[in-house]
Structure 1
Amino acid sequence: MKNIDETIKRRGLLLVLTAPSGCGKSTITRKIMGDDPSIVVSVSATTRDPRPGETDGEDYFFMKTEEFRQKVNAGEFLEWAEVFGRHYGTPKSAVEAALVSGKDVFFDIDWQGAEQLRKNAPDDLVWICILPPTIESLENRLRARGQDSDEVIARRMLEAESEASHWADADYVVVNDDLDKATRQVRAILDAERIKRVRRTGLAEFVKKM
């Protein structure tokens, strides 16, 4: 049986978690999304070729460079970037359809992409920055993985400092000194944002029927 909150129609939100590499963002995201069917992952458009097993419209919207540029000029992307000569972007139409249906859309992007979302969809964006308790703990986490050379770790630490420097641009900051606690805090933020009056488009109808 649905609880009362689930019966009131609402507009979804754009959920962005940004974090330096090694802060636990991927683990927190999996935990949050694992048992929540109301969250869908944003599907990006790209000009790169499909890889074996990838499906158009599910993994990416694959398109030619000229088509992509035309859509950029027409303002059809919420955010986009060029990476190593390939273009990536988030189509507005698919995201808007999800929001109207009450779905929350998760974005796996960096602070620059989040800034574009802030500009193009300020009322829908919920931006959470995940930080480590100390820089030393972050480096220890990266070394504990045993996957990267000292040179790669040094580069990741520089990138981490750059990413972390944009904490003040986010709506919320969660310090991940305990994974379970950080996950609960992210969930609490999501729960609170979902019941904001401006997002609950069905409140007027609900109150009328009380």
Structure 2
Amino acid sequence: MPSSGSPEAAHVSSGPTGNRLTVLSGPSGVGKSTVVAELRRSHPEVWLSVSVTTRAPRPGETHGVEYYFVSDEEFDRLVAAGELLEWAEFAGNRYGTPRAPVERKLADGVPTLLEIDLQGARQVRETMPEALLVFLAPPSWEELESRLRGRGTEPEHVIERRLAAGRVELAAEKEFDLSLVNTAVNEVCVRLIALMK
């Protein structure tokens, strides 16, 4: 299984405040959103970036809380102006991370976290090479498959697509600065906080 740290991680440079952006990524079903929810509950000082998207708000979603909802034209403008750290397309909608709020929080010394996919993490590596990229890994492939199937919310063809993507994402683990195995959410949060501070 993956190591819990690497020598390279100790040498990632930080900004003028000593803070650096932390990126959390990993395969679908590994528990990223659960870890982030617990991290925000136990450490409200951590700022989680809000993505911009071209998809329509779902019932109960608020502009600027879950997402910034924008038109295709506005998204095109953000991309052209270099105002996104990373962006990707999913199911016909685009999602991206606004650059300015992230840079502002880092400059203010606020611990800053992005929860994004592999494609986004690779883009952040290009646009903000000093960022710390953390890979959240499952305890085993069987556990990941069990979690995806255990949700009971998606048809088999969607699960198979997620599993195929998961194999690709797991193969990219070596691109990250370090890995944390998600055996216990609380333990992962403790490690993440230590890395961020």
Q: Pick the TM interval, shorter chain.
A: 0.7 to 0.9
Tell me which amino acid in the other structure corresponds to 1:140: S
Any conservation in 2 of the 1:23–1:132 contact (CA below 8 Å)?
yes
In the alignment, which residue of structure 1 is the partner of 2:7?
none
1:116 aligns with 2:123: yes
Tell me which amino acid in the other structure corresponds to 2:165: E
Alpha-carbon shift at residue 150 of structure 1 (Å)? 4.1
> Of the two, which has the highest radius of gyration?
1
What is the CA–CA distance in structure 1 between the aligned matches of 2:69 and 2:151, rounded to whole Å?
33
What is the CA–CA distance in structure 1 between the aligned matches of 2:39 and 2:88, rounded to whole Å?
27
What is the CA–CA distance in structure 1 between the aligned matches of 2:37 and 2:191, rounded to whole Å?
14
Tell me which amino acid in the other structure corresponds to 2:122: E
Please identify, of 126-135 and 166-175, the stretch whose mean Cα deviation from structure 2 is larger: 126-135
In the alignment, which residue of structure 1 is the partner of 2:28?
21
TM-score normalised to structure 2 length: 0.78
Unmatched tracts of structure 2, length 5 or more? 1-15
Please identify, of 108-117 and 133-142, the stretch whose mean Cα deviation from structure 2 is larger: 133-142
Post-superposition Cα deviations, 1:4-62, rounded to whole Å, max 9, x if no partner, equal: xxxxx935432221122232322222222212122112122222333444333333333
In the alignment, which residue of structure 2 is the partner of 1:37?
44
Partner of 1:50, secondary structure, is coil
- Aligned pair partner of 2:192 in 186, 189, 202: 186
In the alignment, which residue of structure 2 is the partner of 1:130?
136
- Aligned pair partner of 1:174 in 171, 180, 193: 180
What is the CA–CA distance in structure 2 between the aligned matches of 1:34 and 1:161, rounded to whole Å?
31
Please identify, of 33-42 and 46-55, the stretch whose mean Cα deviation from structure 2 is larger: 46-55
CA separation of 1:95 and 1:40: change in aligned 2, threshold 3 A: same
Unmatched tracts of structure 1, length 5 or more? 1-8, 195-210
What is the CA–CA distance in structure 1 between the aligned matches of 2:87 and 2:22, rounded to whole Å?
17
Please identify, of 87-96 and 114-123, the stretch whose mean Cα deviation from structure 2 is larger: 87-96
1:85 aligns with 2:79: no
CA separation of 1:152 and 1:84: change in aligned 2, threshold 3 A: closer
CA separation of 1:52 and 1:119: change in aligned 2, threshold 3 A: same
- Aligned pair partner of 1:73 in 80, 85, 89: 80
Tell me which amino acid in the other structure corresponds to 1:141: R
Report the number of matched residues: 182
What is the CA–CA distance in structure 2 between the aligned matches of 1:183 and 1:121, rounded to whole Å?
23
1:56 aligns with 2:63: yes
Alpha-carbon shift at residue 139 of structure 1 (Å)? 1.9
Alpha-carbon shift at residue 120 of structure 1 (Å)? 0.8
What is the CA–CA distance in structure 2 between the aligned matches of 1:84 and 1:146, rounded to whole Å?
20
Any conservation in 2 of the 1:11–1:100 contact (CA below 8 Å)?
no
TM-score normalised to structure 1 length: 0.74
CA separation of 1:53 and 1:29: change in aligned 2, threshold 3 A: closer
In the alignment, which residue of structure 1 is the partner of 2:170?
164
Alpha-carbon shift at residue 121 of structure 1 (Å)? 1.1
